[in-house]
């Protein structure tokens, strides 16, 4: 690997103060470089460096219990975060809420596209995605607390239309995750649940003169990775960190069904329908599903909709999620974004191009709050930053949007008695 293989301590020692560091990964441990994040935190505690970092992440990274980006929630280590989804790190949510760090929320698809456009030397992203939302500079420009002042989104006029211009990133360090590295430092993600934005994150750093650090489960001295299984070519990789204990997700060391390595059995168990109010909402939502639709499901209640449909109806539709998965047995909860027996896996960036360009007939999405005019909030609940994830990108392009929720954000208590649902106590509606 031409001297690129390094210990994790040596690799993170190369990250300088004030650097902008971009991470790939998705909640539940998907493509998460937790080994490297833990080492960054340890080095900062021991040496006080690196400090004042700007972190960028398109999807949520962590387990909600301190792993992933939550490890970096140390005063002085982070100056700013630009994130698409924050709920997997309550520690960083708290720092943003307390004005300890600058905090921005941008749509996940926009962040991923900015990686590519920044790496390609283009002047950011011009898009209608985000107009009229909190990302619009007429509202907050994606700023999420009182100490966040710099404008990173602007309104422009082009060909008689109003657009948002998202400024390009200057990424100094990319931290990516793969299954294996070969003798020329090619990185494969063939045993992972998804590819996510791995290539785009690496491109953003490499073409900015920055460095790319790849965490992998194994390395081989041979030129072993078949060309069609290479996600990032070795020419873009600066340092490789081997982590034999690396897991496919927080819930499994490795499941070949989740990485699409095995075909589904002729008969395999269907997902069990949700219970209680989730079952009721899913049962109502599934009425909107028609044969041969191109369908997206969001996180939360929508994850149980397909289990309420007839198998023939589900089989006739083409199901997709933003992590790049096509069809298969879509997983929910901590493994949302993965699937067992997927039929295709593309990059998240390509998936968002499909979504934003009108490639969805229908999307089912959760909601935090909705007002009388139909305005929906998922990005900040009370004083807690959640982030939109792919919500804004997806709703801008889908032909039909179905929101699924209880209208009661917290504290709702229900019980099920046979086929009847009884509300024991109402929750808050905001």
Where in the sequence numbering do the catalytic residues fall? 322
Q: How far is CA 286 from CA 304, 333, 399, in A?
A: 10, 19, 16
Backbone angles phi, psi at 158, to 5 degrees: -145, 125
Of the CA atoms within 13 Å of residue 201, those in its CB half-sphere come to 30
Q: Please return the burial class of 383, using the count of CB atoms within 10 Å of its CB with bins 0-12, 13-18 and 19+.
A: exposed
How many CA atoms lie within 13 Å of 294's alpha carbon, on the beta-carbon side?
13
Q: What is the CA radius of gyration of the chain?
A: 21
Task: In whole angstroms, give the CA distance from residue 155 to residue 261.
Answer: 45
User: Using CA atoms, how far apart are residues 187 and 125, in angstroms rounded to an integer?
Assistant: 27
Dihedral angle of Cα 37, 134, 278, 296, to the nearest 10 degrees: -80
Neighbours of 218 (CB within 10 A): 15
Query: Cβ neighbours of residue 373 under 8 Å, at least 6 residues apart?
Result: none
Query: Which helix (H) or strand (E) element contains residue 420?
Result: strand 420-425
Residue 353 is encoded by which pair of tokens? 């191009």
- Which tokens in the block code for residue 279? 């079952």
Check residue 26 and report its DSSP letter.
B
């Amino acid at each position: 690997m031409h001297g690129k293989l390094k210990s994790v301590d040596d690799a993170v020692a190369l990250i300088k103060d004030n650097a902008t560091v971009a991470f790939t990964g998705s909640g539940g441990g998907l493509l998460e470089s937790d080994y490297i994040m833990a080492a960054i935190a340890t080095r900062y505690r021991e040496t006080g460096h690196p400090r004042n970092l700007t972190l960028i992440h398109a999807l949520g990274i962590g387990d909600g219990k301190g792993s992933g980006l939550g490890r970096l929630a140390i005063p002085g280590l982070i100056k700013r975060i630009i994130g698409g989804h924050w709920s997997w790190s309550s520690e960083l949510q708290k720092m943003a809420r307390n004005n300890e760090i600058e905090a921005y929320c941008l749509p996940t698809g926009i962040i991923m596209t900015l990686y590519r456009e920044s790496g390609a030397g283009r002047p950011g992203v011009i898009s209608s995605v985000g107009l009229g939302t909190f990302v619009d500079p007429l509202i907050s420009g994606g700023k999420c607390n009182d100490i966040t002042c710099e404008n990173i989104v602007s309104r422009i006029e082009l060909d008689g239309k109003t657009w948002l211009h998202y400024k390009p990133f200057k990424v100094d360090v990319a931290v990516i995750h793969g299954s294996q590295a070969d003798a020329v430092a090619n990185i494969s993600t063939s045993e992972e649940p998804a590819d996510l934005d791995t290539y785009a994150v690496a491109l953003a750093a490499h073409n900015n003169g920055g460095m790319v650090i790849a965490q992998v489960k194994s390395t081989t001295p041979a030129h072993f990775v078949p060309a069609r299984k290479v996600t990032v070519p070795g020419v873009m990789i600066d340092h490789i960190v081997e982590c034999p204990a690396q897991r496919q997700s927080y819930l499994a060391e490795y499941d070949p069904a989740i990485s699409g390595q095995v075909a589904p059995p002729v008969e395999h168990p269907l997902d069990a329908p949700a219970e209680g109010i989730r079952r009721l909402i899913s049962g109502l939502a599934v009425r909107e599903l028609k044969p041969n639709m191109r369908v997206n499901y969001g996180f939360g209640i929508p994850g149980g909709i397909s289990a309420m449909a007839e198998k023939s109806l589900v089989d006739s539709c083409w199901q997709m999620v933003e992590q790049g998965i096509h069809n298969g047995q879509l997983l929910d909860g901590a493994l949302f974004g993965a699937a067992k027996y997927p039929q295709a896996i593309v990059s998240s960036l390509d998936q968002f191009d499909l979504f934003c360009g009108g490639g969805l007939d229908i999307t089912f999405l959760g909601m935090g709050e909705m007002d009388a005019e139909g305005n929906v909030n998922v990005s900040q609940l009370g004083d807690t930053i959640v982030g939109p994830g792919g919500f804004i990108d997806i709703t801008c392009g889908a032909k039909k949007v179905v929101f699924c929720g209880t209208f009661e954000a917290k504290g709702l208590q229900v019980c099920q008695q046979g086929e009847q649902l009884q509300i024991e106590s109402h929750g808050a509606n905001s």
